Structure 1
Amino acid sequence: MGTPWRELTFVELETDDGLCGVGEVRMVNKTDTLLACLRELGERYVLGSDPFDTELLAQRFQWQEYGRVGEVAQSALAAFDTACWDLKGKALGVPVWRLLGGALRRRVPAYANGWYRTERDPSAVAELAAGVVARGYRALKTNPFGAAVAELTSAELRVAVAIVAAVRERVGDDAQLMVERHGRFVPSAAVRIAHALEEYAPEWLEEPTPPYHAGSLRQVRAHTALPLATGERAHTFADLREIVEEGLADVVQADLTHFGGITGLHKLAGWTAPYDRLLAPHNVCGPVALDREARSYTPDAWIDRLAQRCARYPVVSLEDPLAEDDWSGWRAAYERLERGRQLLGNDLFVTDPDRLARGIAERCANAVLVKPNQTGTVSGTARVVEQARAAKLATVVSARSGESEDHWIADLAVGWGGDQIKIGSTTRSERTAKWNRLLEIESDPHVASSYAGAAGLPGGRAR
């Protein structure tokens, strides 16, 4: 799946008793190479294996293959390993964290990253930093060095220092400030930068030198007392041996998706602990790696979390908050979340009259997403719209027809008297067509239709 500046690769493993485990890997490049590795080693070592044997799986990838294990093989292993852990949890009916020793803490600190995309102007970056802190973050990471590689001129260094100084002044002394360097500098430049930034008390300097040479990091370590962090491009224990054993870095940032998965990172945590190294796993992945624990929530716990989010943020609509066949969960969600906002059933109803009738009878939602391509006919979809209207459910008209979709869905939504139309991102041509057609309809003096905005939602206004 393509996302900005990297691609996400998802792996599903299905057992013979019908369970499905999901794994995920992020590759900045070499995605096709990863896919080839997944196919080759998956057929060789994964198909027909027991998902509980994750140690055996790692041994096969790392020892039975004669070639040295590296980024691609360890990433493929991570995808399979994570999916196996997912299967373990599902088979035993417990979240993965319980299988790893249970809860150590209930809250995990997080820092903001990627927020500083603006011109390299100290005041502009500081303004963005203030917005990050205003959102509740107590730590943030920045990269003030632009496109500099290997060395940094005096003028470039002054700009970088001015940016860090402006951010520190704006966010205050209590906010943690990490400085990213992406391994782009030679040791002498890295030391020079560290000395220039010391007065601004960065929480750590990240990847000050390239990740493949512990000797370079050793030079930096000898000339600064500032905390150093590295490891996101490490793939094996050998890659980190000197760094950990010699104390060349204070924070180890191995990436679960490139370090052999949960099995590899769990071992790394145990190995680094006796050396008093902190572990801050690198992660720029998607939903599986970022929020795996959410898929292990009970419906009640998940509804509690949704209720907390709705209380904190101005949420006006929730689409498919629970699984499509969790009717009891939907009923509980309706009782707690429906008031003042839209509870929209998409996969719950799939534009099916029988499922909609059950949802109406059991009071599971107050809105239904209707798609002509799900019923197969316009007339069948129209009957679902009438059924929903009779029960006083809001109707949201949508379609998933790819690039061939034209503006006809907008005409249907208006013609049926639908409450809303789902457009989606207007960066895609077929969705822009829907939007443009709605504007045409609104400007037609013969059509009594206009944009309702928040007034079209249950409750009459955005909260």
Structure 2
Amino acid sequence: MKITNIRVTHVNVPLDAPFWWTAGLYGGASKSIVEVETDEGAVGLGEAPWWHFGEVIKAEIAPALIGADPLDLADCEARCVPPWQITANTGENASSVAFGAVELALWDIRGKVFGMPLYKLLGGAVRKDIPFSEYFSFRPWHNGAGGEMTPEAIVDYCLRMREEHGSTIFEGKLIMGDPALEIRTVRMLREALGPDAQIRLDSNMQWSLTTARRVLREIEPYNIRNYEDPVATFEEMAALRQHSTIPFSTHVPDLRRAVALGAPDYFVCNFAALGGLSKTLKFIAACEAMGKGFWCYSNDLGIMTAAYLHVVAATPWITEASQSLFRWQVGDVIRDGPFRQTGNTVRVPEGDGLGVELDPEAMKRWSAHFAENGPMGHFNDPNNPGRYRRLPLN
């Protein structure tokens, strides 16, 4: 079997309403969808975490892989990715992320060739109902959606998710640069949701160490399951650990520093950003050996989410719910997408490979959105147009 073509399509998939995060208003995702075609008719699907990695695939990865055996992952990687020790030193790691998106498609091909879902290729399922969190944030009104701009509105939203979907796991960003507002919202959430619901927070590094000490001291009595990136560095998280027992997580996959410093406790990562599924499996195994937890990223489309489902299904070490923005996504590129949880979980697909297929009409719609509007910006601060925010906010 040989790779005959690699097709890259840029798409925009907006959220029903933008949400506030540290860098401004986040309105949706601009992704690159990858289709790897073979001379035997098998087509694998991949997804790049942001559209500009698709340009790297078109310019560098695709030409190198034409004629390669899609089942020989080592050979494919050797054609595309320089040694990581060098690229980490020179800042030229875009090829690693770009290849990670393509490598996902190679795993999809492998599952289709062997006629089994990805989780079976990974050793079999230890669970098939995969937990995901609901998400909350301060969101302005937009075309009839959003409007959660007060603590009361966020509480009402979470209660509605519990009533309508059986949700008891909630994660959110309370990012307005106001410590008192976050403390008040957390208190109200715990009082409304009761003692058994999980509440996790994500600050996107908005707090200084001094402010983070105050915030975590005040919210610790409300049984916070996890706080993601409360401050900007691992060193600051280690200092913060002296004042708080709340676990910390991060998107920065630096396991050695986390072990050396004792914080953070969990990693939350996109598989392509780690260099592909093979490297992700090695990273998770290293986390297990070092006593660090792992769960999966959010704001991905259905192809990457399917990969999350299969890996979590096959990995006993991943026990915490992964992040999701499923409820806010207005569409997807896969048939019957986006995934949406019921009772906190999504069922792992049973089809061959990733178990998902592209929806041609959806691809046409969302690629046209990209072509007409360009990529969706997520660093937009309407209070200070044309300027990037600087951290910390407080």
When normalised by structure 2's length, the TM-score is 0.66
Which amino acid counterpart does residue 123 of structure 1 have in structure 2? E
The partner residue of 2:195 within 173, 194, 205 is 173
Cα deviation per residue 1:406-457 (whole Å; 9 max; x = unaligned)?
xxxxxxxxxxxxxxxxxxxxxx9xxxxxxxxxxxxxxxxxxxxxxxxxxxxx
Per-residue deviation, 1:44 = 5.0
- Is the 2:258–2:265 Cα contact (8 Å) retained in structure 1? no
Distance change (3 Å), C-alpha of 1:14 and 1:104: same
The partner residue of 1:158 within 166, 180, 186 is 180
Distance change (3 Å), C-alpha of 1:89 and 1:119: closer
Q: Hey, which of these two has a bigger chunk of helix by percent?
A: 1
What residue in structure 2 maps to residue 39 of structure 1? 58
User: Hey, what's the Cα distance between the residues in 2 that align with 1:184 and 1:42?
Assistant: 36
Q: Relative contact order (C-alpha < 8 Å, sep 6+): which is higher? A: 2
The partner residue of 1:20 within 24, 43, 62 is 43
- Is the 1:252–1:278 Cα contact (8 Å) retained in structure 2? yes
Give identity over the alignment, percent: 22
Which amino acid counterpart does residue 3 of structure 1 have in structure 2? V
What residue in structure 1 maps to residue 272 of structure 2? 257
- Tell me, what secondary structure is at the counterpart of 1:258? coil
- Is the 1:116–1:129 Cα contact (8 Å) retained in structure 2? no
- Is the 2:206–2:231 Cα contact (8 Å) retained in structure 1? yes
Larger Rg: 1
Per-residue deviation, 1:51 = 1.6
What residue in structure 1 maps to residue 243 of structure 2? 223
Distance change (3 Å), C-alpha of 1:191 and 1:65: closer
- Tell me, what secondary structure is at the counterpart of 2:81? helix
The partner residue of 1:242 within 254, 257, 261 is 257
What residue in structure 2 maps to residue 437 of structure 1? none
User: Hey, what's the Cα distance between the residues in 2 that align with 1:183 and 1:77?
Assistant: 28
Distance change (3 Å), C-alpha of 1:169 and 1:79: same
- Is the 1:95–1:293 Cα contact (8 Å) retained in structure 2? no
Per-residue deviation, 1:245 = 4.7
User: Hey, what's the Cα distance between the residues in 2 that align with 1:17 and 1:257?
Assistant: 26
Per-residue deviation, 1:42 = 1.3
What residue in structure 1 maps to residue 206 of structure 2? 184
- Tell me, what secondary structure is at the counterpart of 1:94? coil
User: Hey, what's the Cα distance between the residues in 1 that align with 2:134 and 2:295?
Assistant: 13
- Tell me, what secondary structure is at the counterpart of 1:257? coil
User: Hey, what's the Cα distance between the residues in 2 that align with 1:225 and 1:168?
Assistant: 18
Q: Does 1:125 align with 2:148?
A: no
User: Hey, what's the Cα distance between the residues in 2 that align with 1:209 and 1:264?
Assistant: 27
> Which range is displaced more, 198-207 or 239-248?
239-248
5+ residue gaps, structure 2, are 1-10, 15-27, 140-146, 311-334, 337-358, 366-371, 373-394
User: Hey, what's the Cα distance between the residues in 2 that align with 1:205 and 1:140?
Assistant: 12
- Is the 1:12–1:20 Cα contact (8 Å) retained in structure 2? yes
Q: Hey, which of these two has a bigger chunk of strand by percent?
A: 2
User: Hey, what's the Cα distance between the residues in 1 that align with 2:193 and 2:40?
Assistant: 53
Per-residue deviation, 1:201 = 1.0
What residue in structure 1 maps to residue 135 of structure 2? 113
User: Hey, what's the Cα distance between the residues in 2 that align with 1:216 and 1:180?
Assistant: 16
- Is the 1:111–1:139 Cα contact (8 Å) retained in structure 2? yes
User: Hey, what's the Cα distance between the residues in 2 that align with 1:176 and 1:182?
Assistant: 19
User: Hey, what's the Cα distance between the residues in 1 that align with 2:182 and 2:309?
Assistant: 39
Cα deviation per residue 1:21-69 (whole Å; 9 max; x = unaligned)?
0101232xxx3x3233112321453222222222344454141895436
How do residues 228-377 of structure 1 correspond to structure 2 at under 5 angstroms?
228-231=248-251, 233-234=252-253, 239-291=254-306
User: Hey, what's the Cα distance between the residues in 1 that align with 2:308 and 2:273?
Assistant: 20
Cα deviation per residue 1:68-122 (whole Å; 9 max; x = unaligned)?
3666333212211100000110111111111112112222221111465334422
What residue in structure 1 maps to residue 119 of structure 2? 97
- Is the 2:227–2:249 Cα contact (8 Å) retained in structure 1? yes
Which amino acid counterpart does residue 159 of structure 2 have in structure 1? A
What residue in structure 1 maps to residue 30 of structure 2? 7
Distance change (3 Å), C-alpha of 1:291 and 1:114: farther
Cα deviation per residue 1:343-380 (whole Å; 9 max; x = unaligned)?
xxxx9xxxxxxxxxxxxxxxxxxxxxxxxxxxxxxxxx
Per-residue deviation, 1:198 = 0.4
Aligned length: 285
What residue in structure 2 maps to residue 203 of structure 1? 225
Please give the root-mean-square deviation of Cα atoms over the aligned residues, in Å.
3.0
Distance change (3 Å), C-alpha of 1:270 and 1:132: same
What residue in structure 2 maps to residue 333 of structure 1? none
User: Hey, what's the Cα distance between the residues in 1 that align with 2:94 and 2:223?
Assistant: 37
- Is the 2:136–2:170 Cα contact (8 Å) retained in structure 1? no
Cα deviation per residue 1:161-193 (whole Å; 9 max; x = unaligned)?
111111111111100000110122222222222
- Tell me, what secondary structure is at the counterpart of 1:260? coil
How do residues 78-89 of structure 1 correspond to structure 2 at under 5 angstroms?
78-89=100-111
Q: Does 1:50 align with 2:72?
A: no
- Tell me, what secondary structure is at the counterpart of 1:291? helix
- Tell me, what secondary structure is at the counterpart of 1:253? strand
- Tell me, what secondary structure is at the counterpart of 1:256? coil
- Tell me, what secondary structure is at the counterpart of 2:199? strand
- Tell me, what secondary structure is at the counterpart of 1:113? strand
